[in-house]
Structure 1
């Protein structure tokens, strides 16, 4: 599923931005070990009168443990831990494994999280990184194949170090996905079961 691949890419960018650019307030950069936050996702398409809105939570812990959980309108969870990725969908009060398309794409996107956490965007040849303002970072795909799916990604850094306010993925001239992050918590210990159990 393309949306999950986008979200995983965005999460990895979200986590990698602060070490690269340092603290927007001028202090030293934060070395992130974990991030937890709520998110609201808006999917804007020309054919829709109103955007499709989803809400959820995520948790990430280095080196590569991720939980990306949609709470509304449909409950689904993406888990990544020790190189194993699972997508679970809630049906009839329980969770079922979803082996549909997109998991391979997500694995490819997530393989660079460690590098991005260390601020090494140059290690990933897929994007050119530029600044568009004091707190705005723009990522532009270098390869035509990726450009057909994503024209650019804009990251809006928060005023506090280590905090991302918003990510916008431009998928075409009249369609984009926007993620807004709230209630961000950095470097709090996360139980291992968060990344293995629904």
Structure 2
């Protein structure tokens, strides 16, 4: 597999007390600081080659109070340095777009697209900006996260938020690197009360032309995207 992404403010999170631990309780010990620094340097170099990315995705939403997993499918498109579009196509249609500093959200309802309020814009912006940074291999942000990495069958980077305001929503991010260390296989968003969201990426295309209009968010509906 080539490079993969993740996600974004597909996080539907409740403001509840902090109790969750990393989902796939990484059984092995974290790698050393020296190993971590070498890993991050290597990953950033590899990820820097990604100028555009189109990838299909499957999202699993797990809520501890319910036994059934909510599964959604869709796609993600990224254009360096700061254009990102996340869209779900089944079982519902919704689109979330960041175009530089502009964030737009749409939902398909009763046969028509509707533009929605983005809600908590600061939290939304923080999450989206983090994702665009991760797509460029920039995982280390000492002001926002404690960072560690683990090796088992693969390599996982664990980011734990420092700010209390952030931790009310998200307890940690788990970012699964592919074997080539040049992209993400999955991202897990560990929420509160042991709820979590897992997004897996597949059928990606790297460095293919993506027109800027795909990320336009000023219209009353998102620009149509042809399937690839």
Pair 131,194 (structure 1): closer, same or farther in 2 beyond 3 Å: same
What TM-score comes out, normalization by structure 1 length? 0.79
Show the counterpart of 1:41: 59
User: Are the equivalent residues in 2 in contact too, given 1:162–1:186 (CA < 8 A)?
Assistant: no
SS at match of 1:156: strand
Is 1:5 the counterpart of 2:23? The answer is no
Show the counterpart of 1:168: 188
What TM-score comes out, normalization by structure 2 length? 0.69
* Aligned mates of 1:191, 1:96 — CA distance in 2: 23
Match of 1:59 among 72, 77, 85: 77
- Report the alpha carbon displacement of residue 172 of structure 1 after superposing the two structures with TM: 2.9
Greater mean alpha carbon deviation, residues 168-177 or residues 138-147: 168-177
Show the counterpart of 2:212: 192
Is 1:154 the counterpart of 2:158? The answer is no
Structure number with higher helix proportion: 1
TM alignment of 1:95-114, pairs within 5 A? 95-112=113-130
Pair 120,100 (structure 1): closer, same or farther in 2 beyond 3 Å: closer
Q: Deviations over 1:121-174 (max 9, x none)?
A: 444611111111151111111122222221211111112342311111111353
User: Are the equivalent residues in 1 in contact too, given 2:47–2:136 (CA < 8 A)?
Assistant: no
What stretches of structure 1 of length at least 5 have no aligned partner? 8-18
Flag the structure with larger Rg: 2
Structure number with higher strand proportion: 1
User: Are the equivalent residues in 1 in contact too, given 2:47–2:183 (CA < 8 A)?
Assistant: no
What stretches of structure 2 of length at least 5 have no aligned partner? 1-6, 12-38, 217-222
- Report the alpha carbon displacement of residue 191 of structure 1 after superposing the two structures with TM: 1.5
